[in-house]
Amino acid sequence: MHATPERIADRYELVDTISTGGMGRVWRGYDTVLDRPVAVKVIRPDLVADPRLYDEYADRFRREARVTARIESPGVPAVYDAAVDKDKGSLYLVMQLVRGVSLADTIDESAPMPVPAAAAVAAQVCAALAEAHAVPVVHRDLKPGNIMVADDGTVKVLDFGIAAVLRTDVTRLTHTGSMLGTYAYMPPEQVRGAPATPGSDLYSLGCVLYQMLTGRTVFPADYTHFQLQVAHVEETPSPPSAHVDGLPEDLERLVLDLLAKDPEDRPATAQDVHDRLVPHLPRPDPLAPDKPLPPGALPDPTRPYRRPVPLRPRATVPSPTKPLPSTLVDATAATPPIAGLAPGELTEADGHAQALIGEGRFAQAIGVLDDVIDPAVSVLGEESAQVVELRLLRANALAISGDARRALPEFTTLADILQRQAGPQDERALICRQQAVYCMAQLGETTRALHEAEGLLERFRRVSGDRSEDVLDLRREMVLWRLRSGDTERASSELPALYSDLRAAYGPGAPETRQVADLLDRLGRGRLGRSRS
């Protein structure tokens, strides 16, 4: 059985630990009210164990939350909630949970990074810093470990919780005399103990950009902490071109300007740095194919520039209203040992996820399935019956919860697997393709959705006839997509037959029939409206 997670404020469940830092622990959590995963930062219990200091730390923590919440940037995880649970002695901050890979891991695997990728990361960091510096807040510990490249390629700057607030009416959040920052990325003025400024963050960004472009830290990795401090104050760094060929001269000049010892010799603002990075960013190409990342691949930070976020479609596409037909899997069948999973954990995860879905806790069900599917695939293979059933369950949960971007590649892959296993007319394979098409439309890819739907409609008709529920649903959605894309003439030509078939299948008062009747009236088909009376 799954252990009951600890719950804070009778709302936030603490699932597992993400990281532990000086001020506390960050948990992957779950918001039971809004059905969404969250990150929950809980201050270290030993820091608030002394009742004489509790109020001081509570005030400090509230202040941290308010400061962080004022940074309104897509590049900084949103703050959802902050509270003090005096009965439990807990202080907690609830934030957006970011799924992705830390820049530190990205550099370890792929440095030196291509210029467009490095520029894309740095430019997105600049956007976040510009918003923070306007609050005004200085990060003071910018480093690859505090930068996350999310799965969609967006970059998030983490841990503004140790930020120094520049406003004079706010007490510093750190202990007097403590030194914040990581030595490899620490600006000279911070080494000397002088107050950090926005220019201090830009120096640290220069260290990060240098490492992305060269695969090396600015000063040797084997330096001691003391040697690193001396180097930041006194040593001139080698130019990036000493370590890698072909770097644009203006980009190298920017890196060296950021690493200037005197803050006044650095670029004036994060916006200025961003502007100098623009020539090295990839050009927008929204019509280029946008293939999902294969499992294990690193997120692509250039994606937000190549494919700017499209407008949300005017009309929403309904989520699937019925689950995919299930093929029973023998829960008692012997399963080879799977590293990281206990015996029987796949069956337990299946039942747990189904129960959560039944309660409307889709995000938590998806998390349960995410934890077991990859280990299962590595041992059983992606086409094993157990893996397919778990992935079907996850795909449905993703679609019903509105996460079309993750659901689309999942439905497409499952349709291919089921078609190989049971043939092109397999009911579950067809329904997976149908849901994939719906996801495309939900993501605004209307032309692609219509193209895929044309062939799928004929396959459905051969299997179940022209008035089956699946065929009628798909025909109705296709008409709506044509209207959305401006093809009013073809939509108008398809509406009368669709209305006739819906009326015969569901009756004149059914919501689907009435929707199409309203469309006919709006398109000026008055005589058809009279014939329906």
The whole-angstrom distance between residue 317's C-alpha and the CA centroid of its chain comes to: 21
Is it the case that residue 510 has pLDDT exceeding 90? no
Q: What number of other Cβ atoms are within 10 A of residue 310's Cβ? A: 10
Residues 6 or more apart whose Cβ sits within 8 Å of residue 165: 63, 67, 135, 136, 137, 172, 173
pLDDT above 90: residue 223:
yes
Domain 6-96 has CATH 3.30.200.20: yes
Examine the pLDDT at 276 and tell me if it is beyond 60: yes
By mean pLDDT, which of 266-280, 296-310, 443-457 is the weakest? 296-310
Alpha-carbon Rg for the chain in angstroms: 28
pTM over 0.75: no
Separation CA 286–CA 530 (nearest Å): 45
What is the predicted pLDDT for the residue at 279? 96
Q: Please tell me whether residue 250 adopts helix, strand or coil conformation.
A: helix
Tens digits of per-residue pLDDT, 517-532? 888 888 764 443 434 4
Which candidate in 31, 141, 159, 501 is catalytic? 141
Give mean pLDDT, residues 253-269.
97
- Of 13-22, 303-312, 505-514, the range with the highest mean pLDDT is 505-514
Where are the domain boundaries for CATH 1.25.40.10 in the chain?
A: 345-531
Mean pLDDT of the chain: 82
Please report, rounded to a whole number, the percentage of residues in the chain having pLDDT higher than 70.
81
Indicate the class that CATH gives domain 100-280: mainly alpha
Comma-separated ranges of CATH 3.30.200.20 domains in the chain: 6-96
Distance between CA atoms of residues 429 and 457, nearest Å? 13
Quick one: average pLDDT of 211-219? Answer: 97
The pair of structure tokens assigned to 276 is: 């100098």
- Interhelix angle 427-442/404-422, nearest 10 degrees: 160
What's the rounded mean pLDDT across residues 1-5?
63
Say yes or no to pLDDT of 308 above 80.
no
pLDDT in tens, 408-420: 999 999 999 999 9
* Res. 314 pLDDT band, cuts 50 70 90: very low
Q: Name the pLDDT band for 209 (thresholds 50, 70, 90).
A: very high
* Residues 36/78, Cβ–Cβ less than 8 Å: no
| CA diameter of the chain | 89
Distance CA 260, CA 262 (A): 6
> Does the pLDDT at position 508 exceed 50?
yes
pLDDT of 404 above 80: yes
332 pLDDT above the threshold of 70: no
Q: Cα separation of 497 and 180, whole Å?
A: 70
Inter-residue long-range contacts of 250-253, CB under 8 Å, 24+ positions, other chains counted: 250/276, 250/279, 251/115, 251/119, 251/213, 251/277, 251/280
Q: By the 8 A CB rule, do 279 and 250 touch?
A: yes
Q: What is the spatial distance between Cα 252 and Cα 255, in angstroms, rounded to a whole number? A: 5
For 276-340, the DSSP string reads: HHGGGSPPP-TTS--PPPPTTPPP-TTHHHHSPPPPPPSSPPPPPSSPPPPPP--TTS-----TT
Q: Which residues pair with 314 in a beta bridge?
A: none
Query: Average pLDDT for residues 139-160, to the nearest whole number?
Result: 91
| 154-164 per-residue burial string, b: 16 or more CB within 10 A, e: under 16 | bbbbbbbbbbb
Residue 61 structure tokens:
């923590």
Dist CA 173 CA 91 (whole Å):
15
Q: Look at residue 3 in the predicted model and tell me its pLDDT.
A: 63
Q: What is the pLDDT of residue 35?
A: 86
Q: 401: which residues sit within 8 A by CB, 6+ positions away?
A: 35, 362, 363, 366
* Higher per-residue pLDDT: 206 or 57: 206
CB 68 within 8 A of CB 48: no
pLDDT at site 127: 96
- CATH 1.10.10.10 assigned to domain 345-531? The reply is no
List, as own/partner pairs, every contact residues 289-298 make where C-beta atoms lie below 8 angstroms and the sequence separation is at least 24, other chains included: 292/408, 292/409, 293/151, 295/374, 295/377, 298/101, 298/106, 298/109, 298/110, 298/149
CA-to-CA distance for 204 and 185, rounded, in angstroms? 5
Question: How confident is residue 164, by pLDDT bands cut at 50, 70 and 90?
Answer: very low
Can you give the pLDDT at residue 47?
Answer: 61
User: Residue 396: pLDDT above 50?
Assistant: yes
Whether the pLDDT of residue 33 is over 50: the answer is: yes
Percent of residues in the chain assigned helix, strand, coil, to nearest 5: 50, 10, 40
Is the model's pLDDT at 75 over the cut of 50?
A: yes
Range picked from 59-63, 262-266, 355-359, 494-498 for highest mean pLDDT? 262-266
Distances (CA, A) of 514 to 468, 507, 529: 18, 9, 11
Separation CA 121–CA 36 (nearest Å): 27
Active site residue 141: yes
With a cut of 70, say whether residue 69 has pLDDT above it: yes
Segment holding 509, helix H or strand E? none
Name the percent of the chain lying above pLDDT 90: 34
Top-confidence residue, 318 or 342: 342
Q: Given this model, what pLDDT does residue 339 score?
A: 66
> 172 or 244: which carries more pLDDT confidence?
244
The mean pLDDT value for 276-287 works out to: 88
User: Amino acid letter at 283?
Assistant: R
* Distance, first Cα to last Cα, the chain: 58
What is the token pair recorded at 488?
């009013």
Q: Are 23 and 80 in contact (CB under 8 A)?
A: no
Higher pLDDT, 47 or 195: 195
pLDDT at 186 exceeding the cut of 70: yes
Distance CA 394, CA 383 (A): 15
Bridge partners (DSSP) of residue 27 are 17, 40
Strands 90-96 and 36-43: antiparallel
Quote the CA–CA distance of 309 and 374 in Å, as a whole number.
Answer: 29
Q: What is the pLDDT of residues 95-133, one digit of tens each?
A: 999 989 999 999 999 989 999 999 999 999 999 999 999
H helix or E strand, kind and range, residue 12: strand 12-20
Which among 81, 99, 79 has a CA at the least distance from the CA of 91? 81
Identify the burial level of 249 via C-beta atoms within 10 angstroms of its C-beta, where 0-12 means exposed, 13-18 middle and 19 or more buried: exposed
Mean pLDDT of 469-498: 88
